Amino acid sequence: MIDLRSDTLTLPTQEMRNVIAHAIVGDDCYGEDGSVIELEEYCKQLFCVEDALFVPTGTMANQLAIKSQVMEGNEVITETNYHINFYESSSIAMLSRAVLHTCRTEDGILRVEHVDELIHSKPRGPFYASPQLVSIENTINYYQGKIFPFKEIKQLYEFTREKNISLHMDGARLFHAHVAMNIPLSDYAKFVDSLSICFAKGLGAPFGSMLMGKKEMISKARIYRKQFGAGFHQIGMYAAAALHALKHHISHLCTDHLLTKKLAMMLSEIEGLSIDPDAVETNMIFFHVNNLHTNSWQFVDRCKKKGVLLFPWLSDTVRIVVSRNVTEKGIYEAANIIEAVCKELTRGVTYVS
């Protein structure tokens, strides 16, 4: 099976398994896990941030960023389709008792003008909810792994500082933006108050995220992490795997991007598929199947029968994510299978489930 459903499906390499087997561990609740200390220190250097906190998931990193920067009843401003609203709205209600205030942008980029409009669309003042955090995403999952433009981040940072609002970046796939744009990770960290990254996506570690920012914010988050039930004991094996991924797997993302572009070009030649290869910026491709008189679930099912796994994103949209899971040979095979499925559909071959 060629698995193009998600980059969370990447598996640890043999080298990573060796690192895990030999990792130094201790009780992280006592601050004594050597591998966690090493990973957090490494991230502090790499991103040039004051402090870093190892957490189990990207969701928890985002939730801790909110919990430590937004008071109950106050507001988080974000784009409707960013992970923080799309998947995490119930977590925010439950854990932070904060409100989301969102807008749908035309191109997926939440800009100063949108935030300004959201701030002024309600009465503000001591009796009402006040906006305390703006949250952006880089790269943007819902918008096909689109890169958030660096200059827009800087402008947002200037604006939010002026308004005394914090800026958070959900950087689950920030490494993809980093290798595509050749912008240092520390430059990204410089223009936000808090930043989360994931080790368990394209980087290929089995577990973990890092929340980074100022000392004061991270010390609050460290307490909330324990209260939320994620105070780890011997978690160093996972920290060592994450460190190995940071040291050895970042550059591979360039290969993922090249293969994604190649696949997008091949798919754009297929009759019936609607896809814009120029809009492909990182490791994701979204294509539409509505011209083939089918829906994404049926399309994905047909592909699975022939040996390629894809993700039915919306009823007419299929998502492809390229990761370390797939080789160049796999990309050609996937293109052939998708083409064969499209041919069946245009020829009206009956679907047998």
Ligand X SMILES: *Cc1c(COP(=O)(O)O)cnc(C)c1O
Interaction site with ligand X (CB under 6 A):
57-59, 83, 137, 141, 170, 172, 198, 200, 209
> 82-115 as b/e, with b when 16 or more CB fall inside 10 Å?
bbbbeebeebbeebbebbbbbeebeebbbbeebb
Residue from 162, 247, 155, 160 nearest 205 by CA? 247
| Spatial contact of 70 and 135, defined as CB atoms under 8 Å apart | no
Name the residue number minimizing CB distance to ligand X: 58
| Spatial contact of 245 and 229, defined as CB atoms under 8 Å apart | no
CB of 238 to ligand X, least distance (A): 13
Q: Encoding tokens for residue 165?
A: 């609002």
Closest CB to ligand X among 176 and 244? 176
At 79, give phi and psi (nearest 5°): -90, 140
Closest CB to ligand X among 131 and 171? 171
CB of 57 to ligand X, least distance (A): 3
Closest CB to ligand X among 119 and 143? 143
CB of 62 to ligand X, least distance (A): 6
Closest CB to ligand X among 79 and 170? 170
CB of 87 to ligand X, least distance (A): 7
What span, in angstroms and rounded, lies between the C-alpha atoms of 216 and 234?
Answer: 25
CB of 138 to ligand X, least distance (A): 8
Closest CB to ligand X among 59 and 294? 59
Closest CB to ligand X among 197 and 218? 197
Closest CB to ligand X among 209 and 260? 209
CB of 213 to ligand X, least distance (A): 16
Length of the chain: 353
Sign of CA dihedral 212, 214, 215, 219: negative
CB of 281 to ligand X, least distance (A): 15
